[in-house]
């Protein structure tokens, strides 16, 4: 299934604008390692900025792989990048959470991270796990603790965001311990790790340094700047997309200069500002439209991609959050993306919510059904079946073709949505939000995650303790 946001001519214009930005405006960095990498490979220095030449751009854009896989601790949980399967991923970095018992917003804690991972592990259509932002952990080791906690509480692949370069050593040690060795981790990565350059067009010290370390480790790299229309990017959507595209391609090219053929992911996150309040919005429709535009650019380059997807401005798990999430996820899914992130998020990705994660699991199942596309064959066209029903004076309900297609999953089956008659629904009168909260409680009460071994668990503790001591 293929849809386009840009026409071919419009896409070419955005691409040419991207090249102009890279070649005439360039990027700024405070990392001497990153600057040396770029200058040693043909980029040019102009004042405090690094400009890309066409030769460097062509070289860097010619080697990213079109596909690769990452794996969970349970190898049946495989995520195939480059296949545009629109996998669902939980939201990263939310500092707040909706308490499942009180339904009140509060600070995230490590136990919330563990519970959120365990809930995601038990939901069929949530495919990758990202960490909430626990407030009861030292900032010096927060991503290391997050990584260990995710591995302890889920067997699904991980998405990690490198908050700072100084933690890369301990993060990689945790992943290596879980994988059983460096070679095993490179052959079957348990995670992809993303860096977030600063818009507009700046690769700060930590993102730049972490980028080099990630690529050298052999793990897949994601590049995820987050420009905000009207604040850290142009107010026009296509202008912000063009700037954003340049910011991402700078990282893509750098990764290939380090190690040609290293796996890399374009992760566009164009957001926008509410000019009446100054609030940064991850809402519809602009969030979905910008994602569709950026994902079409990634598809044009043949580079795997992720989009925000399940985001909105809604503050609770309700109708607004559900329709915003579906809209923002469906647009990039129809263009063709690998990952739809932010599942379980509320309030512009500032809050995670157990009930919303269950609702997004349902939305993910709808999107999975949508991107599957049609199967056109003699059997599905059913011309013979139509003829038999008419000639034999029967109904389609009686024909074996109906049973066969139904059992094969021709009709999407809801997990939460109510399809009963009004009279049957009225007996309990539950809202979908109430059902989602109860489902979250039920899964957390009964779902058991396959634990890491005692040896690996102890190694996690040793790595965290060593990282805390510096």
Per residue, the 3-state secondary structure of 401-460, as one string, reads HHHHHHHCCCCCCCCCCCCCCHHHHHHHCCCHHHHHHHHHHHHHHHCCCCCCCHHHHHHH
**pLDDT confidence of residue 302:** 97
Does pLDDT of 299 surpass 80?
yes
Pick from 305, 310, 315: nearest CA to 288: 310
Q: What whole-number distance in Å separates Cα of residue 279 and Cα of residue 27?
A: 27
Residue 466: its pLDDT value, please?
Answer: 95
Q: Residue 119 pLDDT > 70, yes or no?
A: yes
Buried (b) or exposed (e) across 347-380, using 16+ Cβ within 10 A?
bbbbbbbbbbbbbbbbbbbbbbeebeeeeeeeee
The rounded Cα 8 to chain-centroid distance in angstroms is: 26
Q: Is the pLDDT of residue 469 over 90?
A: no
Helix pair 168-179, 142-153: axis angle to 10 deg: 20
pLDDT of residue 470: 75
> With bands split at pLDDT 50, 70 and 90, how would you rate the model's confidence at 113?
very high
Distance CA 408, CA 402 (A): 10
Q: What is the pLDDT of residue 1?
A: 62
pLDDT at residue number 163:
78
CB burial string 58-73: b at 16+ within 10 A, e below = ebbeebbbeebebbbb
Give every CB contact of residue 188 below 8 A, 6+ residues apart in sequence: 69, 70, 71, 75, 179
Angle among Cα 157, 373, 241 to the nearest 5 degrees reads 65
Average pLDDT of 139-147? 95
pLDDT at residue 82 is higher than 80 = yes
- For the chain, the first-to-last Cα distance in angstroms comes to 50
Q: Which of 207, 264, 201 is nearest to 50 (CA)?
A: 201
Task: Name which of 316, 317, 339, 315 is nearest 329 in CA terms.
Answer: 339
Task: Single out the residue of 217, 245, 259 nearest to residue 37, CA to CA.
Answer: 259
Q: Which residues contact 114 (CB under 8 A, 6 or more apart)?
A: 149, 152, 153
Give CA–CA dist 243/283, Å, rounded. 20
Pair 291, 309: CB distance under 8 Å:
yes
CATH superfamily of the domain spanning 68-371: Trimethylamine methyltransferase-like (3.20.20.480)
Out of 60-64, 74-78, 160-164, which region has the weakest mean confidence (pLDDT)? 160-164
pLDDT at 151: 98
Q: Please give the mean pLDDT across all residues of the chain.
A: 96
Domains of the chain, residue spans? 68-371, 378-407
**Cα-based distances in Å from 237 to 67, 79, 269, 395:** 29, 30, 12, 52
Is residue 296 within 8 Å of residue 5, measured between CB atoms?
yes
DSSP 79-132: EEETS---EEEEPP--SEEE-TTT--EEE--HHHHHHHHHHHHH-TT--BB---
- pLDDT mean over 208-212: 97
With contact defined as beta carbons under 8 Å apart, do 315 and 347 qualify?
A: yes
Tell me what percent of the residues of the chain surpass a pLDDT of 70. Answer: 100
Q: Are 341 and 87 in contact (CB under 8 A)?
A: no
Q: How many CB atoms lie within 10 A of CB 463?
A: 23
User: Torsion-angle region of residue 347: left (phi > 0), alpha (psi -120 to 50) or beta?
Assistant: left
Q: Report d(CA 121, CA 154) in Å as an integer.
A: 5
Q: What is the dihedral of CA 248, 250, 253, 257, to 10 degrees?
A: -140
Spatial separation of the C-alpha atoms in residues 245 and 270, rounded to whole Å: 10
Q: Please say whether the beta carbons of 41 and 257 come within 8 A.
A: yes
Contacts of 264 (CB under 8 A, 6+ apart): 64, 220, 221, 222, 223, 251, 252, 255, 256, 303, 304
Average pLDDT over residues 439-452: 97
Which is more confidently placed, 470 or 367? 367
Average pLDDT in the 437-465 region?
Answer: 97
- Position 164 pLDDT exceeds 90: no
Share of the chain above pLDDT 90, in %: 96
């Amino acid at each position: 299934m293929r849809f386009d946001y840009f026409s071919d001519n419009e896409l070419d214009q955005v691409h040419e604008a991207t090249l102009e930005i890279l070649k005439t405006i360039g990027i700024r960095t405070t990392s001497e390692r990153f600057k040396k990498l770029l200058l040693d490979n043909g980029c040019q220095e102009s004042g405090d900025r690094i400009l890309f030449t066409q030769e460097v751009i062509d070289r860097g854009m010619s080697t990213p792989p079109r596909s690769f896989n990452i794996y969970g601790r349970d190898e049946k949980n495989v995520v195939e990048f480059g296949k545009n399967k629109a996998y669902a991923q939980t939201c990263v970095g939310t500092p707040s959470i909706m308490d499942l018992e009180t339904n009140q917003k509060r600070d995230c804690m490590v136990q919330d991270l563990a519970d959120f991972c365990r809930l995601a592990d038990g939901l069929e259509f949530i495919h990758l796990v990202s960490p909430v932002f626990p407030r009861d952990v030292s900032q010096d080791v927060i991503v290391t603790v997050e990584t260990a906690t995710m591995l302890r509480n889920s067997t699904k692949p991980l998405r990690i965001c490198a908050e700072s370069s100084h933690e890369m050593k301990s993060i990689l040690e945790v992943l290596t311990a879980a994988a059983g060795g460096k070679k095993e981790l490179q052959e079957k990565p348990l995670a992809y790790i993303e860096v977030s350059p600063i818009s507009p067009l700046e690769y700060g010290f930590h993102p730049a340094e972490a980028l080099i370390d990630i690529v050298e480790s052999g793990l897949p790299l994601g590049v995820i700047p987050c420009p905000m229309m009207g604040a850290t990017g142009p107010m026009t959507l296509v202008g912000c997309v063009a700037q954003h595209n340049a910011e991402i391609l700078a990282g893509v090219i750098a990764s290939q200069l380090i190690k040609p053929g290293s796996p890399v992911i374009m992760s566009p996150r164009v957001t926008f500002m509410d000019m009446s309040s100054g609030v940064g919005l991850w809402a519809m429709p602009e969030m979905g439209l910008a994602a569709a535009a950026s994902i079409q650019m990634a598809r044009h380059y043949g580079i795997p991609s992720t989009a925000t997807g399940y985001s909105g401005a809604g503050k609770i798990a309700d109708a607004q959050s559900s329709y915003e999430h579906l809209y923002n996820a469906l647009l990039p899914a129809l263009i063709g993306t690998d990952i739809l992130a932010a599942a379980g998020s509320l309030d512009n990705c500032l809050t995670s919510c157990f009930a919303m994660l269950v609702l997004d699991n349902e939305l993910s199942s709808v999107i999975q059904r949508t991107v599957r596309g049609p199967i056109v064959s003699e059997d599905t066209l059913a011309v013979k079946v139509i003829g038999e029903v008419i000639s034999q004076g029967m109904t389609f309900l009686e024909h074996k073709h109906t049973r066969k297609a139904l059992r094969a999953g021709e009709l999407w089956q809801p997990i939460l949505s109510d399809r009963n008659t009004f009279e049957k629904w009225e007996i309990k009168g539950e809202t979908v939000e109430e059902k989602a909260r109860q489902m979250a409680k039920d899964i957390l009460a009964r779902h058991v995650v396959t634990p890491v071994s005692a040896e690996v668990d102890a190694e996690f503790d040793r790595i965290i303790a060593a990282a805390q001591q510096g």
